């Protein structure tokens, strides 16, 4: 019974941390009054902390929280993976449905995760940030924060609209709908350009369990590899009572991580995530977890010198390739970064593609989208402004407030209102007044600046067909005032190609 209680305790902790993680996502919304910082899990992620600071060559004291997680293996081994990591919990939940629970050993792939870790760290030494490809916490943040939230929103909206259309307490349901909107989402369903890439990444991670349980954690997760490396000497460990052990092998088969050696006594501590399943399932209660001198435990280095050197050389060449590659080979002048973004090189080094800025922007303006290849292969999933989808709210500075690595600098509202992300230009072949000589002024009316950056010049126009005279307001831009917020491009009434666009002209980066 006591054994079952410890499993319940572990599961409760897992659910609680996953809940906390979801809470941090829910709080990343306008109006922004977080009581837990939405960046908490990313700050506490030692891989993000080390790699980002190494690649970006900076120090930010908020990352000191990560030391808690980084030092935990010295006592509790990879307990973080088994008890806290919200991606681990997600995998555990989905494993109940999709995992191949038959015991199959894939030990030879274990060292993959260490190779990934070493590659990421070496790239970071050369100033290239790659951790986001494989770091579990940013992966889960963008999966739940962008995919999960939009899906949930669509679902609730559809259900509630169904009630309204069916006439079941329409007023009450409308009020609930508005309250949900105010607390979690924008009023209109957020739409994203780049949903399928994050979707396939998370789907892939979950489906890998078809091969074996927690395949990701066993073989691929670089954060797990990092914690595993530090777990070798943890005193809190699995201890088997050799007298009562019948070598029935149940523990080995039930182990999520395949961490139990063939003698059933020894444990690969860099793999064990202390899930306690082996204690629970042992028919003779031979297994306990307790503090014991770590010296007695075997430890193996799963990365040979040869593969280390190989990885290092590959990383050197790989990172040189990144360096030699031209940043943003195409569409450079339409690449508008969020207000307060660092200079492009620095930005790339710091951005961990967690999607926090995209998620919070979707609740206020909604211009930020994850890029696919517009910003080059290097810029995959970095935030860029797409003004036909949304625009930068004049009174909003939330993307900078929420960025966990300060790739987008936290600006106060006055600073943000003055920062230039680009400049609007008219496409006179399309713009209505220039093309058709008719009044439009939609861009001018929406310009949020106290002194409008779009100015109207009223000129007389003589229609060549009818010889009629009329006065037409022709808009022009004052580039000194324009901040490139993009509301003009967003609200331009032309369908398809617009008459005014934002370019990077005059953008201010930090």
Partner 1 sequence: MDRRTFLKTSAIITGVGLMPKHGIFSKEKEVVSLVIVKNGSPAQMADKVFEMLGGVSRFVSRGDYVLIKPNLSWDRSPEYAATTNPELVSAVVTQCYKAGAKKVLIVDNTCNDARRCYKNCQIQEIASKAGADMRFVRDSHFIETDIPGGTNIKHWPIYKEVFEVDKLINMPILKHHSLPQVTIGFKNMMGLLGGNRGRIHRPFPENIVDINRVIVPQLTIVDAIKILRRNGPSGGNLKDVEELNTVIAGTDRVLVDAWSARIFGKDPNTLKYLKLAHEVGMGEIDTEKFKPVTFTY
Position 491 contacts partner 1 (CB under 8 A): yes
**One of 125, 174, 229, 427 touching partner 1 (CB under 8 A):** 174
Asked whether position 499 contacts partner 1 by CB under 8 A, the answer is no
Question: Does position 422 bind partner 1 by CB under 8 A?
Answer: no
Range list of H helices, 27-110: 40-43, 46-56, 66-71, 73-76, 79, 86-98
The 10 Å Cβ neighbour count of residue 159 is 12
Looking at the Cβ atoms of 66 and 440, the one nearer to partner 1 is 440
Whole-number Å distance between alpha carbons of 510 and 508: 7
The minimum distance between CB 439 and partner 1, in angstroms, equals 6
CB of 435 to partner 1, least distance (A): 12
Nearest residue (CB) to partner 1, 6 versus 473: 473
Cα separation of 35 and 57, whole Å? 30
Q: How far is the CB of 184 from partner 1 (least distance, A)?
A: 11
User: How many chain residues are in contact with partner 1, going by CB under 8 A?
Assistant: 42
Is the C-alpha dihedral spanning 12, 13, 15, 20 positive or negative?
A: positive
Task: List CB contacts of 217: < 8 A, sequence separation 6 or more.
Answer: 81, 85, 88, 91, 224, 256, 257, 273
Closer CB to partner 1, 179 or 298, in the complex: 179
Q: Does 440 bind partner 1 (CB under 8 A)?
A: yes
Q: Does 186 bind partner 1 (CB under 8 A)?
A: yes
Which of the stretches 75-83, 335-343, 376-384, 490-498 binds partner 1 when contact is defined by CB under 8 A? 490-498
182 binding partner 1? (CB under 8 A): yes
Report how far residue 426's alpha carbon sits from residue 501's, in angstroms, rounded to the nearest whole number.
7
* 343-402: contacts with partner 1 (CB under 8 A): 363-365, 393-396
Which listed residue (163, 441, 479, 481) binds partner 1 by CB under 8 A?
Answer: 441
Q: How many CB atoms lie within 10 A of CB 387?
A: 26
Count of alpha carbons within 13 Å of 40, Cβ hemisphere only?
A: 18
Using the rule CB under 8 A, is 413 a contact of partner 1?
Answer: no
Q: Does 473 bind partner 1 (CB under 8 A)?
A: yes
Q: Whose Cβ is closer to partner 1: residue 281's or residue 439's?
A: 439
Exactly one of 19, 329, 331, 493 binds partner 1 (CB under 8 A); which one? 493
8 A C-beta contact, residue 443 and residue 491: yes
The set of residues, in sequence order, having a beta carbon less than 8 Å from that of 82 and lying 6+ positions away, is 10, 14, 88, 256, 273, 274, 275
Compute the least distance from the CB of residue 452 to partner 1, in Å.
6
| Residue 30 interacts with partner 1 (CB under 8 A): yes or no | yes
Pairwise CA distance, residues 495 & 510, whole Å: 35
First-residue to last-residue Cα distance in the chain:
59
Site for partner 1 contains 477 (CB under 8 A): no
Q: In 3D, which of 65, 113, 141 has the Cα closest to residue 353?
A: 141
Residues that bind partner 1 (CB under 8 A): 30-31, 161, 164, 171, 174-175, 177-178, 181-182, 186-188, 363-365, 393-396, 432, 438-442, 444-452, 456, 473, 491-493, 495
């Amino acid at each position: 019974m006591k054994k079952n209680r410890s499993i319940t305790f572990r599961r409760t902790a897992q659910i609680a941390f996953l809940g906390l993680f979801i809470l941090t996502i829910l709080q990343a919304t306008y109006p922004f009054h977080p009581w837990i910082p939405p960046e908490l899990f990313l700050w506490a992620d030692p891989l993000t902390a080390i790699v980002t600071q190494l690649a970006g060559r900076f120090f930010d004291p908020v990352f000191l929280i990560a030391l808690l997680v980084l030092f935990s293996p010295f006592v509790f081994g990879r307990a973080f993976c088994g008890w806290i990591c919200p991606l681990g919990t997600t995998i555990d939940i989905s494993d109940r449905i999709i995992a191949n629970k038959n015991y199959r050993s894939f030990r030879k792939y274990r060292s993959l995760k260490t190779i990934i870790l070493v590659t990421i760290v070496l790239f970071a030494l050369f100033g290239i940030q790659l951790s986001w490809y494989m770091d579990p916490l940013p992966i889960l943040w963008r999966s739940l924060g962008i995919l999960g939230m939009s899906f949930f929103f669509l679902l609730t909206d559809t259900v509630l609209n169904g009630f309204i259309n069916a006439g079941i307490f329409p007023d009450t349901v409308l009020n609930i709908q508005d309250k949900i909107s105010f607390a979690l989402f924008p009023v209109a369903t957020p739409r994203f350009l780049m949903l399928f890439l994050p979707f396939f990444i998370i789907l892939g991670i979950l489906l890998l369990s078809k091969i074996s349980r927690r395949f990701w954690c066993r073989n691929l997760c670089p954060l797990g590899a990092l914690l595993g490396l530090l777990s070798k000497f943890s005193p809190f460990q699995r201890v088997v009572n050799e007298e009562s052990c019948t070598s029935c092998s149940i523990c080995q088969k039930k182990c999520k991580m395949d961490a139990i050696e063939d003698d059933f006594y020894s444990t690969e501590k860099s793999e064990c995530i202390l899930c306690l399943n082996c204690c629970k399932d042992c028919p003779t209660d031979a297994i306990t977890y307790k503090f014991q001198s770590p010296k007695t435990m075997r430890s193996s280095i799963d990365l040979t010198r040869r593969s280390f050197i190989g990885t290092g050389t590959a990383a050197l060449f790989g990172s040189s390739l990144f360096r030699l590659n031209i940043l943003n080979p195409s569409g450079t002048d339409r690449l508008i970064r969020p207000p307060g973004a660092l200079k492009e090189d620095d930005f790339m080094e710091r951005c961990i593609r967690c999607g926090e800025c995209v998620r919070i922007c979707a609740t206020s303006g909604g211009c930020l989208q994850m890029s696919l290849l517009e910003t080059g292969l290097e810029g995959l999933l970095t935030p860029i402004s797409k003004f036909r989808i949304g625009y930068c709210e004049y009174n909003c500075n939330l993307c900078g407030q929420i960025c966990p690595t300060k790739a987008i600098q936290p600006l106060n509202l006055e600073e943000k209102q003055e920062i230039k992300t680009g400049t609007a230009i008219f496409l006179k072949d399309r713009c209505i007044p220039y093309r058709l000589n008719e009044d439009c002024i939609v861009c001018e009316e929406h310009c949020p600046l106290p002194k409008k950056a779009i100015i109207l010049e009223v000129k007389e126009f003589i229609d060549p067909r009818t010889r009629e005279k009329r006065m037409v307001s022709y808009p022009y831009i004052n580039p000194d005032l324009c901040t490139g917020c993009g509301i003009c491009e967003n609200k331009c009434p032309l369908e398809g190609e617009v008459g005014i666009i934002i370019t990077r002209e005059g953008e201010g980066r930090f």
